[in-house]
Amino acid sequence: MYTRTETFCISKNATTQEAIAKMNEGRLGIVLVVDEDRRLIGTITDGDIRRAVLAKFPLSHLVTALLEQKTGTEYAKPLYALAGQTKSEYLKILRQNALSHLPIINGEKQVVALLTSDEFMVDSLASIDAVVMAGGRGIRLMPLTGDIPKPMLPVGEKPLLEIIIHKLRTAGIQKINVTTHHKPEKIKEYFGDGRDFGIDLNYVSEERPLGTAGALGLLENIQKTTLVINGDILTDVDFKAMFQFHREHNADLTVAVRVCELEVPFGVVECQGAQVKAIQEKPKVSLMVNAGIYLLEPHVYSYIPAGEQYHMTDLIQHLISKKINVISFPIHEYWIDIGAHAEYEKAQKEIERFNF
């Protein structure tokens, strides 16, 4: 049970962006909105934040405005429990209401603690496997990748692939497949069977590049949900939250997305025929971009052609055309794609924010 209320409580006068920062700092998947006397007003969950991002809710708005979005729903009033009850009583409340978090308040309705369902579970992601795509040549990072696979480049004191594996293991994942192509011996010599790193590690060799989805087609006898991540990504994304989001939406495939803002370097003119209707000087365009992290249900593999080059974008588009349920999961945590020298140098400077 968490009792340092400053790690998960936030003022009703805070902005949604501040709530995101508090949530990322506390790593609990929730913040409790309180008044000046620390009395509970409402809760903002990880799912609330990600749905707000998808709905383009202004993150500069106060958290109370975000709470108002729940008006008229079953989530309008937060559920809580009183301090002093037994752990079994708390567990009963969590299960009966399908909750992941339970605020604990005292007789004055002040928040004194927070209970999470994780405290009753061990390795909550042990039911899924993972695949790290580590077969790329890393051409844009030459000459650094001339004699070493891109995922083996050191970030801080460890190879990037070791950081990714550590993140997956910490989330509870026990079995990881690594797809290889360029200099595979470098990866195998370092990690072996994964025993020294606390996981069961297997290798899938691409004799020729097959693309992300094509490489997945080399896997056999898939019976579990699979978390797939590109081997050149440094991120602090909450894999447990992503899996929960995937399940809540009954998704067949979930793709992690990032908000990317692009500034058009010209004045944009809106025309109707020859008539100018509006003009904007260097407007910013907000787009959702693929973040290179996915969750796939086992039956999705049947849509991947065997032995052919097939990109994840091809698979996603094909699933959409077949009316298969594809869901987006917005990432608000730290994320960087180490695909070029500038990003690699940036990652080296920012690695200190991680506890690896």
Give the start-to-end residue ranges of the domains of the chain: 5-120, 129-252+290-353
**Rounded to 5 degrees, what angle do the CA atoms 67, 73, 74 make?**
105
Residue 203 and residue 180 in contact, taking contact as beta carbons nearer than 8 Å: yes
Q: What pTM was computed for the model?
A: 0.81
Across the chain, which has 356 residues, the per-10-residue mean pLDDT values are 90 95 90 95 93 91 92 84 88 85 92 85 76 88 90 93 94 94 92 94 90 90 94 93 91 95 91 93 90 97 91 96 96 92 92 70
Q: Are 29 and 238 in contact (CB under 8 A)?
A: yes
- What is the predicted pLDDT for the residue at 308? 87
Q: How far apart are the first and last CA of the chain?
A: 24
Give CATH for domain 129-252+290-353: 3.90.550.10
Q: Cα-flanking dihedrals φ and ψ of residue 44, to 5°? A: -125, 115
- pLDDT reported for residue 211: 86
Run of H or E including 201: strand 200-205
Contact 110, 41 (CB under 8 A): no
- Position 356 scores a pLDDT of 57
DSSP assignment, residue 298?
G
Calpha distance 114→101 (Å, rounded): 7
Is 170 exposed, middle or buried, given 0-12, 13-18 or 19+ CB atoms closer than 10 A?
middle
Q: Who contacts 203 (Cβ-Cβ below 8 Å, separation ≥6)?
A: 177, 178, 179, 180, 184, 187, 188
The answer to whether 205 touches 181, Cβ cutoff 8 Å, is yes
Question: Rounded to 5 degrees, what are φ and ψ at 66?
Answer: -70, -40
pLDDT score recorded for residue 295: 97
Quick check: 313 and 290 in contact, CB under 8 A?
Answer: yes
CATH of 5-120 among 1.10.3720.10, 3.10.580.10, 1.10.260.40, 3.40.50.720 = 3.10.580.10
Helices 46-54 and 239-248 meet at what angle, rounded to 10?
70
Alpha helix locations (H) across the chain? 16-26, 46-54, 63-68, 87-96, 160-170, 184-191, 211-216, 239-248, 312-321, 341-350
Q: What pLDDT is attached to residue 77?
A: 86
Using CA atoms, how far residue 275 sits from 47, 105, 201, 272, 280, in Å, is: 44, 62, 63, 5, 15
- The answer to whether 207 touches 237, Cβ cutoff 8 Å, is no
Q: Alpha-carbon torsion 220, 223, 228, 231, what sign?
A: negative
Cα separation of 5 and 9, whole Å? 6
Amino acid at 306: A
Residue 261: exposure state from Cβ atoms within 10 A (0-12, 13-18, ≥19): exposed
Between the alpha carbon of residue 16 and those of residues 69, 240, 285, 325, the distances in Å are: 13, 22, 21, 29
Count other Cβ atoms within 10 Å, centred on residue 129: 22
3-state secondary structure of 192: coil
